[in-house]
Structure 1
Amino acid sequence: MSTEEQSPFITLSPSAAKRVAWLAEQEGNPGLMLRITVSGGGCSGFQYGFSFDSTVNDDDLTFATDGTSAVIDQMSLDLLNGSEIDFVEDLMGSSFRITNPNATASCGCGTSFAI
């Protein structure tokens, strides 16, 4: 399943799209997509995961910003629907961050959440 630029389900900020493109280029494969997953664990119950992938599975949804693609499986989408993926750089370092409107709580590091 595929969507147009700026999916209504998940959005990838221009900053995140730029960083994904740069990282994929560093890997020597500019066609890589950012895969976003949710798994059980972390200090709040669920934990975000990020990796690169070149494969789209049957239950995946893809979305793109500025020519950069990301992919998410249907189960993870159910927990992240309406979220924005951003890339931030601050005094604490640089990282991808998810603003998840479904989360009722999250840990201080921003990598786990509760629903």
Structure 2
Amino acid sequence: MGGGDSSGPAPGVILTERAAARIAHLLAREENKDSMLRVAVYGGGCSGFQYSFSFDDTKNDDDTVIEKNGVTAVIDEVSMGLLAGSEIDYVDEMIGASFAIRNPNATSSCGCGNSFSLG
């Protein structure tokens, strides 16, 4: 299991302490406290693929579940294939704060950090 915190059919994505703390903070504002962070990859963006972050109440059968410090993130099977080995972090920099993915599968990425390409 990736980092000892993942479970599911294709583990290998790590959720950092900072990301888990930020998810917990955001969930405290949600009506449904059982919501999970859904991380997905879609076609688009300036480099071919883009990351998506949203809250979801539903876990699908093909989702990989990542748990850290009492919060849960889910990733669909197709996105998991593109994110395997990645680290999801929360970064707070002078230009702003956001979730960031360090994806070893990306051959290049956009300056915004939300878009990437593969080989």
The 8 Å contact of residues 82 and 100 in structure 1, kept in 2 or not, is answered as yes
Correspondence for 1:35: 38
Give the 3 Å change call, closer, same or farther, for CA 18–52 of structure 1 in structure 2: same
Higher strand share: 1
CA RMSD of aligned residues (A): 1.5
The 8 Å contact of residues 4 and 64 in structure 1, kept in 2 or not, is answered as no
Q: For each residue in 1:47-87, what CA deviation from the matched residue of structure 2 results, as whole angstroms up to 9, or x when unmatched?
A: 00000011101111111111110000000000000000000
Correspondence for 2:23: 20
Dislocated runs of 4+, deviation >3 Å: none
Letter in 1 for 2:36: M
* Cα distance in 2 between the residues matched to 1:100 and 1:4: 15
* Cα distance in 2 between the residues matched to 1:12 and 1:82: 11
Correspondence for 1:6: 5
* Cα distance in 2 between the residues matched to 1:16 and 1:50: 12
Gaps of 5+ in 1: none
Gaps of 5+ in 2: none
* Cα distance in 1 between the residues matched to 2:18 and 2:3: 18
Correspondence for 1:48: 51
Secondary structure of the structure 2 residue equivalent to 1:78: helix
* Cα distance in 2 between the residues matched to 1:30 and 1:111: 27
* Cα distance in 2 between the residues matched to 1:30 and 1:22: 11
Structure 1 residue 27 displacement after superposition: 1.3
